Amino acid sequence: MRHALPLVPQFYVTAPQPCPYLEGRIERKLFTALQGDHASRLNDALSKQGFRRSQNVLYRPSCADCSACYSARIRVADFQPTRSQRRILKRNDHLTREASTPWATEEQYQLFRSYLDARHADGGMADMDIFEFAAMIEETPVRSRVVEYYRQSDDDQCQRELSAVCLTDVLDDGLSLVYSFFEPGSQPNSPGSFIILDHIAIAREAGLPYIYLGYWVPGSRKMGYKANYSALELFHDGAWHDFTTTEEYQNRAFQKGCDPISEQVARISLPDLAIQG
């Protein structure tokens, strides 16, 4: 006999720890494992509900005292670059893009180390060695790509050098920018913004409607740039909403914490992950 058995993901909560975005706040995450034959379907479904992927885990902030982390995405069809963003595209038009399967290289790691040492020397990734870096890039149970950006070498015009990298998940409705890094010396060209703008172009060419940017946190200097993109949507109260103003979201962020974990889990919409036994 054949019976349909549900594959129900188990959800867990991390221990409270200092928030990396807002000083004096405590963070907590709701998470589940991402593995098996149905990993891509689960990633697609939960990404639409504010979750993010980190290797083989999907997580979403679930803090007791605030709800300041908003999952953000851009509607590709409605996005219009600002004059400043058009200048960023022009300043980076010397870069060439290559997308490949998620495979870590020594060149990527050296760029990653330079990026961390210059911009996040005291961050949670500061001590990451090459093996941990390889795991971050390669341990993906879903469809992912490494998007690399190259420039011609300053010393030899026949050679090229890696300038920026983005680990990108391909969802059924868009591209999710998992993690990006770039040459610290290229900061005047706004490479981080360029990576987002270029992914919007990739999604448009592929007919994908959204670019998922991770979390936007009002009041956080690290995350403030995400509010600069038109056609921005934020996930809260169980649905995606058009971004209005930073002030409005900053005011509502600390009115209450997240709902009890049991209520959050009960409201998560899961795909049909039945197997035959």
Residues 65 and 95 in one domain: no
Residues 266 and 238 in one domain: no
pLDDT at 2 (0 to 100): 44
207: tokens are 């007919």
The residues, any chain, with a CB within 8 Å of residue 47's CB and separated by 6 or more, are 53, 58, 169, 171, 176, 212
pLDDT mean by block of 10 residues, the chain; 277 residues: 57 92 91 91 96 95 89 98 98 96 96 89 77 95 97 77 97 97 94 97 98 92 89 95 90 79 90 60
Domain of residue 139 covers 72-242
Residues 62 and 86 in one domain: no
Indicate which CATH number applies to the domain containing 179: 3.40.630.30
Length of the chain: 277
pLDDT at 123 (0 to 100): 66
Q: Is 216 exposed, middle or buried (0-12, 13-18, 19+ CB in 10 A)?
A: buried
Residue 215 lies in a domain: yes
The residues, any chain, with a CB within 8 Å of residue 220's CB and separated by 6 or more, are 21, 22, 68
Residue 247 lies in a domain: no
pLDDT tens track for 94-126 = 999 999 999 999 999 999 999 998 876 666 677
Nearest Cα to Cα of residue 75 among 224, 227, 233: 233
Report the DSSP beta bridge partners of residue 239.
236
Residues 104 and 148 in one domain: yes
pTM: 0.91
pLDDT at 5 (0 to 100): 39
Give the C-alpha separation, 88 to 226, whole Å. Answer: 15
Nearest Cα to Cα of residue 160 among 107, 214, 218: 107
Give the C-alpha separation, 267 to 154, whole Å. Answer: 54
Give the C-alpha separation, 132 to 147, whole Å. Answer: 19
Residues 260 and 224 in one domain: no
Residue 42 lies in a domain: yes
The residues, any chain, with a CB within 8 Å of residue 232's CB and separated by 6 or more, are 72, 73, 74, 75, 226, 242, 243
* Number of domains observed in the structure of the chain: 2
pLDDT at 4 (0 to 100): 43
Q: Is 57 exposed, middle or buried (0-12, 13-18, 19+ CB in 10 A)?
A: middle
pLDDT tens track for 26-71 = 999 999 999 888 899 999 999 999 999 999 999 999 998 888 899 9
CA torsion, ordered 174, 177, 178, 179, to nearest 10 deg: 170
Residues 164 and 230 in one domain: yes
